[in-house]
Amino acid sequence: MSVILTCHSLCLGYENREVLHGLDLRLEEGQCLSVLGENGAGKSTLLHALLGLKKPSRGSVEYGAGLSRRQIGYLPQQSAAQKDFPALAGEVVRSGLLSSCGARAWYTRGERRRALEAMELLGVREMNRRSFRELSGGQQRRVLLARALCATQKLLLLDEPGAGLDPVASQDLAQAIRALHRTQGISIVMVSHDIATALREADLVLHLVNAHERFLGTPDAYRASETGARFLGNRN
């Protein structure tokens, strides 16, 4: 198996505040990494750095396995503007294809089919012509996940996929993500507050405590660690 994502002593910060210092990380193809931590611990900042949206102040992020920065599927946190945006679910999903379009101004038939296949995979195929804003929260996330899937064949970055969903919808979504991971062999980096799901699914856990203090290891090692015990103890 080849390495799909590597961070070399990665440092991230805003103006004079350091958020992350000297992170070394290797993700193999097909692995799932769960990123945990309190609010403000730098989880989303790390995700932005992995996407190339945030420049590291030191260190680097590298992709392997023939992956370019444009071939990453990203599920951002939901923005308020999308609540009343006039768009069909299909239009939203297809916008994930843009990264592979180059200068072409339209989608080919093959690309449209690919968008439908992504929707099929996430169980939202029949919502293709439905209005995005009229879907339930869980359906909207699936549509956005299908969009992310259009942009990638190898690596998904998910920023709190279950946030704001009711428990049932959240579990459904976790199942859909698990299926992508297991049956499609897609590597996943997931920021999550749903710690039970995160630990069940992950091959690797990264818990950010602050810029310098963190835990990186397998879920079992995490449960046994001091950081994990403290965090899990808080939750249960």
Partner 1 sequence: MFHQLQNYLQYDFMRYALIVGPLVTICSALLGVTLVLRRYSMIGDGLSHVGFGALGVAAALHWAPLPVAVPAVIAAAFLLLRSRHKKMQGDAAIALFSATCLALGVLAITISGGSNVDLMNYMFGSILALSKSDVWIAAGLFALVLPGFAWLYHRIFSVTFDEPFARATGLRTGLYQLLTALFTSLTIVLGMRLLGTLLISSLLTFPAMISMRLFKSFRAVVLSAAVTSVVCFVAGFLISLFWKQNLPTGATIVAVYALAFGAFSLAGWVRGRSRKNC
Residue 212: CB minimum distance to partner 1, A: 27
Residue 229: CB minimum distance to partner 1, A: 34
Among 6, 57, 82, 225, binds partner 1 (CB under 8 A): 82
From the list 115, 121, 73, 120, the residue with the least C-alpha distance to 92 is 115
Among 27, 34, 37, 94, binds partner 1 (CB under 8 A): 94
Which of the ranges 27-35, 89-97, 164-172, 221-229 carries the binding residues for partner 1, by CB under 8 A? 89-97
From the list 72, 21, 76, 98, the residue with the least C-alpha distance to 191 is 76
Among 86, 110, 167, 233, binds partner 1 (CB under 8 A): 86
Which of the ranges 2-10, 146-154, 172-180, 215-223 carries the binding residues for partner 1, by CB under 8 A? 146-154
| Binding flag, residue 53, partner 1 (CB under 8 A) | yes
| Binding flag, residue 121, partner 1 (CB under 8 A) | no
The 3 state secondary structure assigned to 87-141 is CEHHHHHHHHHHHHCCCCCCCCHHHHHHHHHHHHHCCCHHHCCCEHHHCCHHHHH
Q: What is the DSSP track for 12-61?
A: EEETTEEEEEEEEEEEETT-EEEEEE-TTSSHHHHHHHHHTSS--SEEEE
From the list 59, 77, 95, the residue with the least C-alpha distance to 192 is 77
Among 22, 64, 76, 219, binds partner 1 (CB under 8 A): 76
Q: Where on the chain is the footprint of partner 1 (CB under 8 A)?
A: 51-53, 69-70, 72, 74, 76, 79, 81-82, 84-88, 91-92, 94-96, 98-99, 101, 105-107, 131, 133-134, 147-148, 151, 157
